[in-house]
Each structure stands twice: as C-alpha cells, then as structure tokens.
Structure 1
Amino acid sequence: MNQLRDSLLDAPIIEKEGYHYFVHPISDGVPMLEPELLREIVIKIIRKAALEDVDKIVTPAAMGIHISTATSLMTDIPLVVVRKRQYGLEGEVALSQVTGYSENEMFVNDVDSGDRVLLLDDVLSTGGTLRGITGALEEIGAEIVDVVAVIKKEGGGNELDDSPYDVKTLINVDVVDQEVVITDPHGDG
C-alpha cells in the first residue's frame, strides 16, 4: 500500500492568491497525520537520502519539523529547526524565505562551519524556502550533503534548478482541474 500516494490523491485543493495549493497532513497538518503515513515517509527518506557522515538534519519551521523529528529519532542524527523567530544567539544567521504564497525572514542557529547537513523539507514548489536555507548554510560554511523534500509540486518554477543541489523527492504531483495528479510516483533522485 502507498499511503503517501493515496493521501495526496484525496487531498482537497484551495486557491490562495492565484496559487493552487493542496491541503495535506504533511504540508499542513490537516487533516490529521496518521502514524502509518509518517512512518512510510520516514522509511522512504532514510532509503533515499545520503545519510552517511551527516552531522545534523536541518529543517524549516513549521511543517518540516514532524518529518525531521521522526527521521532524527530513526537515525540518531540531531535536528536543527530554522525558525521564523530571531533569538539573537551567537552565530545566528538570517535568511529570506520567498515562496509562491508568502515571504518571511528566517533564522539559523546551531549550524557551524564544517557541519555536514541533510536539508529536509515537506514540499518543494517554488524552491524559495530551500534556496534561502541553502544560501544561509553556504554562508555559515556547512556542507550540504543532501537535500530531500517529501513532495514536489510541479509547475512552481523551482529556484534550485540553477543551483548545485539536486533535490530528491519521494513523490511528484501537479494540480490539474482542482485535483492532485501524480506525475512521478517515485519522485526525483
């Protein structure tokens, strides 16, 4: 059974400022996230991601947290959450997050030069969030070992296309006529 695929096919679609957005437990926390779905996703992440010698998992708040926490628990790799709140701690690095539907300032703490990191997120759509975080991690001097997003939404004009990072995804989808369509059931990478 493929719970990720099935749950996406059942996902409702909303429109926000001209952007067609699917509502899903992984990307929105709504509807309720079943443990079986989370477990399936984490197993797929562990199989797909380059985890050897990774020092830290880095994820953006808020919707990357549950995926990354579960992955951290399964791999014993510490977790760093990129927050939308500034704490003013030593070494904190600010970045700009621009997506298809929002713009925020985010802050990275607890990543040091030389750290080998896995960047993990829920959805790759425009690539704006991951572009901002990869830039901040590069500025810090961290080595980005791998970048994984659970779901890729096609047609977002991915800002990482011209970067050195090939984002691995678990499943690729598009929204056509108010429905989620699976464009690649195995994702990229």
Structure 2
Amino acid sequence: MDLKSLIRDIPDFPEPGIIFRDITPLLRDPQGLRYTIDALTEQSAAFTPDCVVGIESRGFMFGVPIAQQLGVGFIPVRKSGKLPAEVHSIEYELEYGKGLLEIHKDALCQGDRVLILDDLLATGGTAKATADMVEKTGAQVAACVFVIELLALEGRKKFNHHTPVVSLIQY
C-alpha cells in the first residue's frame, strides 16, 4: 500500500519553511489505518516487548491497538501535569523550543522490554527523552517504532547503535 499517498503535506506549519506531515488522511482511511497498524505490529513483534509506551498524543492512537494485537499492556508518556501519580520527568529539546514529558514511576518494572511508539521521528528529542525515562524506571528499550521518519533531521542518531529504530515511511 502507498502510505505516502495518505500523508498530507502542509507547508509553512507551524512556522514558515516547515513542511508538516499530516497523518489525518491516513487516520480517516480505514484500509490505510488497518495496514499501518498491522505493519507496525508485524515490525514490533520481532522485538518481543513486554509493553508498548506511546508518546502523547499520536503515539496513543497507534500504540493502543498495537499493544492489544501483541497481547501486552500500554503505558502513556504525557506532557507535564497530566498524570495523577508520582512521575519521572525529563526536559527535552523540540524543533521549536523545549518540552517536558512524564511517565508514572510505577508504570514499568525492572527488566521490562519496552517498545516506544510514535507517529513521527524528526530530530529525535521526544523519543530520546522517552527512552531516557524508560531506562530511569529500570526497564530497557527493545526498539523505537514510528509511522514516519524525516531522514534529513537524523533523529535516529540520538539513540545508541544497540537500539533498533524502525519507520514505515521515510521522507
């Protein structure tokens, strides 16, 4: 399936000179959405995760059905102030500034194999911050999986060479 045909380019968003890769048409298309979830699940199964960690918010859309298909649990990584229990927090660099992500301290167990999932790998700041928080809990990152990867921004270089990084679509 040609998934790129279901990704809409929005020029000059959120800033002039940026091309935003919009997944809304992909989410709207039942066959494209099913194909994407199945392809991500197939790629992810090889890493035998104990759980899927999805990054707010689009990582939730793909992470929950993939966790369900893999027969594992789902853990949300949220923006600051959204989780009710004790959290690990980490500040990270965005393309356009800084952000703060959080995960519940008791969300993962020592030695858990974690699959980190999001819709887009750009500079890698968000995913790397998530990986660092996962490791703070004593769990290990089995792999990072994305729908889209922007190759020119070299986000995969943020991870050590032992962390597999998988993407379905590359620009």
| TM category, shorter | 0.7 to 0.9
SS at match of 1:141: coil
Change in Cα spacing, 1:162 to 1:137, as seen in structure 2 (3 Å) is closer
More helix by share: 2
Superimposed CA distance per residue, residues 103-160 of structure 1 (whole angstroms, 9 cap, x where no aligned partner): 2111112122221111111100100001101111112211111111110012214263
Residue 21 of structure 1: how far off its partner (Å): 2.9
Aligned residue for 1:74, secondary structure, equals helix
The normalised TM-score by structure 1 is 0.77
The equivalent position to 2:135 in structure 1, one of 138, 150, 161, is: 138
Deviations 1:36-85 (A, max 9, x none): 22211111112222455421100110111101122123222211110113
Paired residues in the alignment total 167
When residues 40 and 66 of structure 1 are mapped into structure 2, their CA distance, relative to the original with a 3 A threshold, is same
SS in 1 for 2:168: strand
1:31 Cα deviation (Å)?
7.8
Distance verdict in 2 for CA 1:30–1:93, change over 3 Å: farther
Q: Residue 112 of structure 1 aligns with which residue?
A: 109
- Structure 1 unaligned residues grouped into runs of 5+: 174-189
Taking structure 1 as reference, are residues 19 and 60 closer, same or farther at Cα in structure 2, changes over 3 Å only?
farther
Offset, 1:19: 5.2
Q: TM-score, normalised by structure 2?
A: 0.84
Q: Identity rate of aligned residues, in percent?
A: 23
Which structure has more relative contact order (CA 8 Å, sep 6+)? It is 1
CA shift in 2, pair 1:31/1:7, >3 Å:
closer
RMSD after superposition = 2.3
